[in-house]
A and B are shown apart, each in its own frame.
Chain A
Amino acid sequence: MTPVMFTDSTGYFAVSILVIGLVAGAIIGGTVGGVAAYNIAKDNNAEGWELAGWTLAGVAGGAAIGAALGYAGASLYSSATGIVGLSITKYSIVPIKGVTLLGSYPLYKDSAILTNSGFYDIGKTWNNLTTAQRTLNNSTYLADANKLGSQFAIFTGRVTTTATSLWEEIHYLIENGIPFEMF
């Protein structure tokens, strides 16, 4: 997955786990590199522009090394956990995995845990949202999972009727041309 940050018109966004690793690594590496370079240059009696130059070089070098390490670390983390990114809204941060399971409770949750797949879950925050906020939050998650390359599968053990959250999710996928498999 190419490390790209996705934004949408609501201000909510999805971010790849690789981008998080890259940016966090660059910030930490740049800070460490800059401080180390400053101290070494200072010990060697560098002053003025020369000191600033060495410090900046330390920041740049540290950021590059940190970014590479952060990216590699994020890749390992992603491989180990299956998490490819995060769906971030003002109400929730939900991890996105390579496969996203939707369906009727508890079937989809049990299946997701068994297969290390992702599923939509914002805890009891859901109960405090208005109908419009629920719909927006849910569709944002689906959009984010799709942007991050997740594959969708639906596990439902009962007839899915209109005006349910699952019905809305399936309609969102269909209306946006997002492929899914049904079990």
Chain B
Amino acid sequence: MKSNENSIKARIQKLLLYTGYELIHFNYDSKTFGNMIIKIAGNDKIINIVTDRGEVYFNDEAVYYPLISPLEIETIEIVVAVLIRDYLMILQKPRNLGNYKLTD
């Protein structure tokens, strides 16, 4: 399980390269729904990202609800990575992933 945790952490750190943000806290709760607590800091901001039963929260704001927008293949680690990428590089606000496909 530790290797899974390390690989998720490495994926997030790779995403943050050249963005001005860095990963300052990562906790992967494999026993409780595989929930994650992630803190990234940069540009004088700290973003808290929490997954809770597949739901994803950015600074306590729900940005992904699997109950209403389940993915074709729901892998929460991938969902989180896409949302962080969106936030940092593209939209500055995570998009609705309702029509997201893994090939996007």
Residues of A within 8 A of B (CB): 104-106, 109, 121-124, 126-127, 130-131, 134-135, 157-159, 161, 163-166, 168
Tally of B interface residues using CB under 8 Å: 25
CB distance from B33 to the nearest CB of A (A): 5
The answer to whether B67 touches A105 (Cβ under 8 A) is no
The answer to whether A105 touches B50 (Cβ under 8 A) is yes
Q: Which of A105, A131, A158 is B66 in contact with, Cβ under 8 Å?
A: A131
What are 7 contact pairs spanning A and B, CB under 8 A? A106-B37, A124-B34, A127-B33, A130-B70, A157-B60, A161-B62, A165-B55
The answer to whether A127 touches B52 (Cβ under 8 A) is no
The answer to whether A105 touches B65 (Cβ under 8 A) is no
CB distance from A154 to the nearest CB of B (A): 14
Please name all residues of chain A whose beta carbon is closer than 8 Å to the beta carbon of B34 when the two chains form the complex: 123-124, 126-127
Within 8 A of A (CB), among B38-69: 50-55, 57, 60, 62, 65-68
Q: Give the complex CA separation of A182 and B54 in angstroms.
A: 23
The answer to whether A158 touches B37 (Cβ under 8 A) is no
B13 CB-CB contact with A under 8 Å: no
Other than the given A127-B74, A134-B53, 7 more pairs (CB < 8 A) read A121-B33, A126-B54, A159-B60, A164-B62, A164-B65, A165-B53, A165-B55
- With A164-B55, A165-B67 as known contacts, state yes or no: A123 contacts B62, CB within 8 Å: no
Please name all residues of chain A whose beta carbon is closer than 8 Å to the beta carbon of B67 when the two chains form the complex: 131, 134-135, 163-165, 168
Residues of B within 8 A of A (CB): 29-35, 37, 50-55, 57, 60, 62, 65-68, 70, 74-76
Q: Give the complex CA separation of A134 and B70 in angstroms.
A: 12
Q: Give the complex CA separation of A122 and B35 in angstroms.
A: 12
Please name all residues of chain A whose beta carbon is closer than 8 Å to the beta carbon of B51 when the two chains form the complex: 105
Q: Give the complex CA separation of A163 and B67 in angstroms.
A: 6
The answer to whether B31 touches A123 (Cβ under 8 A) is yes
CB distance from A76 to the nearest CB of B (A): 26
Nearest 5 Cβ contacts at the A-B interface: A158-B60, A105-B52, A163-B68, A124-B34, A163-B65
Q: Give the complex CA separation of A126 and B32 in angstroms.
A: 9
Please name all residues of chain A whose beta carbon is closer than 8 Å to the beta carbon of B33 when the two chains form the complex: 105, 121-124, 126-127
